[in-house]
Chain A
Amino acid sequence: MIDIQLFDTDLDTQYCTEWVSTPEAGGVVVFVGTVRNSTSEKKVVRLEFEAYEKMAVSEMRKIAEQAAERWPIRKIAIHHRTGVLYPGDIAVIIAVSTPHRKAAFEACAYAIDTLKETVPIWKKEIFEDGEVWVAAHP
């Protein structure tokens, strides 16, 4: 059972946690990625996320399916934001349930690590004195 969604409104950690919870799963791991208030000691004013939406969804689904092949996942939810976010806002939630905890931790780490490498979503950091597309330049 896989739930992949992009939102331009607030993400809901409680919803994701409850959605993946099932009596078959003794372990639920939820990763919540939030907007940090600084980068390299520069104060972050806001982040602007944009996505190539149909491919972002399909790539997130591939990650969930690959994770489900490697670990005994009962349910996995990946929710990601687009639009303007401020420090403290939630940018991504990955919730995974498995029969035992170790697989849930490993699958959740795999999902967020892979998402950051393959899913076509971009964020621009806006500082008080400038802005930069994150990871664009070496």
Chain B
Amino acid sequence: MNISILAFGIARDIVGASEFDFAVEESQTVGELKQELVRHYPDFAKLASFAIAVNGNYVSDEHPLQGDDEVVIIPPVSGG
């Protein structure tokens, strides 16, 4: 299935778009998605860290993805 992913901050620069479609297996976990993202965009491995938010909340690597999820790449935050 294809999921739509939003990218902010340096994640947008790495991907080259603020929103993009990405192919994942059915019930693929967030941890597996992160590995796939690093494979496609090796610059993610250079970041201090990056998290994934699903439907507006941080989720663990074990969290399974669904096709209609709002998936967002959260590079290291720097508000304040």
Contacts and interface: CB of A to CB of B under 8 A. Distances in A.
Interface of A: 33, 49-52, 54-56, 58, 80, 91-92, 112, 115-124, 133-138
A52 B76 contact: no
A55 B80 contact: no
A136 B74 CA distance: 10
17 contacts: A33-B80, A51-B79, A52-B6, A55-B56, A55-B72, A58-B56, A91-B79, A91-B80, A92-B79, A116-B79, A119-B77, A120-B8, A121-B77, A121-B78, A122-B79, A133-B75, A136-B9
A117 to B, nearest CB: 7
Interface in B60-80: 72, 74-80
B8 A135 contact: no
A122 B80 contact: no
A135 B48 contact: yes
Contacts of B77: 116-122, 135
B33 interface: no
B1 interface: no
B38 interface: no
B80 to A, nearest CB: 4
Given A58-B56, A122-B10, A138-B48, A52 B79 contact: no
Interface string B1-32: 00000101110010000000000000000000
A34 to B, nearest CB: 11
Given A50-B9, A52-B74, A136 B80 contact: no
Given A50-B9, A52-B6, A58-B56, A135 B78 contact: yes
A12 to B, nearest CB: 18
Given A52-B72, A55-B57, A80 B6 contact: no
B40 interface: no
- List the 3 closest pairs (A to B, CB-CB), nearest first: A121-B79, A122-B9, A134-B78
Contacts of B58: 118
